[in-house]
Amino acid sequence: MTGTTQTQQAARRSDATRAAILAAARERFAADGYEKATIRAIARDAKADPAMVMRYYDSKAGLFAAAVAINPGLLDLPVEPSEEIGRRLVSHFLTLWEENGELTALLRVGATDPTAAERVGSVLREQLIPLARQVGPDPEQAQMRATLCASTVLGLAMTRYVLRFPASMELSREEIVEWLGPTVQRYLTDPTP
Amino acid sequence: MTGTTQTQQAARRSDATRAAILAAARERFAADGYEKATIRAIARDAKADPAMVMRYYDSKAGLFAAAVAINPGLLDLPVEPSEEIGRRLVSHFLTLWEENGELTALLRVGATDPTAAERVGSVLREQLIPLARQVGPDPEQAQMRATLCASTVLGLAMTRYVLRFPASMELSREEIVEWLGPTVQRYLTDPTP
DNA sequence: GTCTATAATTCGATAGAC
DNA sequence: GTCTATCGAATTATAGAC
């Protein structure tokens, strides 16, 4: 029915605009970065009032934090089978990056904001260091090997999703996996050169 | 002598502050990005008046353009000998990035500003595509291979100089060359996987 | 819960005295 | 050439009517 009782309907209505604001914020932060993405523009996209954004998320910083809060388990990569782990990791990250706009937002803002930069680092550390420890030859090298993998993945994310180089955007998913997969595989498992 | 004639001394004085402003601008843009680097702060660093910045460089955009104007030939990479080209290219870019703060500034601003992003792309294209055409097996693949190399170099620059991951900053120059060199070598010369 | 009006800052840019 | 004073615009954030 269209006209139900007000008591619970009101709560639902505010939840809907909350979600709309959050979605609009993710897009704007991903597209424009932190400074250029204004609360006014985000509210306009979400068809809400700018004052509502402040009411729900306290401040612009609070809104950004909520917009790029990473769903726990979002980046979890199944570890087995460990063969072809390089290709599977690249493929996994490609999917994540295309399905979750908050990753681009976080990386783009991280280029200017140290707090966001640290967040990018912690996410990658939590994902890649355990992996490197598991499949690598020497546990003491896990941090270094994870860093090399992070650099590989972020390099692609920069050229393809942040800087948007046409030549990088034209690469097919298969091409990327076939070229970068062996690179990551080597960083993870090969003996020190 | 300390008190020379005014006519030419005046011109020299203004040139000195011009240079000081430009140096301060490079540091601020590299450290904070475009929006956060204010003309007031840059002028303070250069011990100059904010109005002088406008007088010399017209606008903030003009100042940024001058600050990241790339010296012609700055990135020129000697092509021969073509053996070990991967390691030499990585080593070359490492040196450039550590000696020229404007590269970090350009990449950091490029993360938010499409114009700067295009500048990063054009610089890399002009450098890497001819190289890929020269040493690669198929001229038609030069653009793709150059893009893979750009992604590799920019990934390292991001983790090391922009996001400033401690684990990436701790890598020695030799480690980076030994790990990334063969990657770039493969992207440039190996047959399609 | 929603929106209007506005306060409080900050910044780029300009005008003009010296 | 140099600096003071200030304008005008844009932003986040708040106060309060409805």
Position B4 pLDDT exceeds 50 = no
pLDDT(B31) > 90: yes
What is the percent of chain A where pLDDT is above 70?
Answer: 93
Mutate to test the interface with A, among B118, B127, B158 (most CBs of A within 10 A): B158
Q: Which domains does chain B have, with CATH numbers?
A: 3-67 (1.10.10.60), 74-189 (1.10.357)
Nearest residue in B to A30, CA atom: B112
Digit-coded pLDDT (tens) for B33-81: 999 999 999 999 999 999 999 999 999 999 999 999 998 888 888 777 7
C-alpha A145/C-alpha A142 separation (Å) is: 5
Distances (CA, A) of A149 to A15, A90, B141, B178: 39, 9, 25, 15
pLDDT, residue B95, reads 96
Q: Which of B99, B146, B100, B111 is closest to B126 using CA atoms? A: B146
Mutate to test the interface with A, among B141, B178, B179, B186 (most CBs of A within 10 A): B179
- A176: CB partners within 8 A, 6+ apart: A90, A94, A156
Contact yes or no for B154 and A158 at CB 8 A: yes
Angle of helix A6-36 relative to helix A101-110, nearest 10 degrees, comes to 40
Residue ranges in chain A whose pLDDT is less than 70 = 1-13
Q: What is the pLDDT of residues A112-137, one digit of tens each?
A: 999 999 999 999 999 999 999 999 99
Tokens 């006014």 belong to residue: A40
* pLDDT value, residue A11: 59
Closest listed residue to residue A90, CA positions, set A191, A171, A192, A190: A171
What's the pTM?
Answer: 0.94
Q: How far apart are the first and last CA of chain A?
A: 69
Q: What is the pLDDT of residue B193?
A: 93
pLDDT at A12: 64
Nucleotides in chain C with any atom closer than 7 Å to protein CB = 1-5, 10-16
Residues in B touching A125 (Cβ below 8 Å): 167
Question: Residue holding tokens 């990585």?
Answer: B90
Residues B152-179: pLDDT tens digits?
999 999 999 999 999 999 999 999 999 9
The pLDDT tens digits for B98-142 are: 999 999 999 999 999 999 999 999 999 999 999 999 999 999 999
* Closest CA of chain A from B130, distance in Å: 15
Residues of B in contact with A107 (CB under 8 A): 111
Are the CB atoms for A144 and B165 separated by under 8 Å? no
What does the alpha-carbon distance between residue B36 and residue B29 come to, in Å, rounded to a whole number? 8
Determine whether the interchain pair A159/B147 forms a contact, defined as Cβ–Cβ distance below 8 Å.
yes
pLDDT for the residue B15: 87
In this complex, the answer to whether residue A20 has its CB under 7 A from any atom of chain C, a nucleic strand, is: no
Q: Which two tokens stand for residue B146?
A: 């150059």
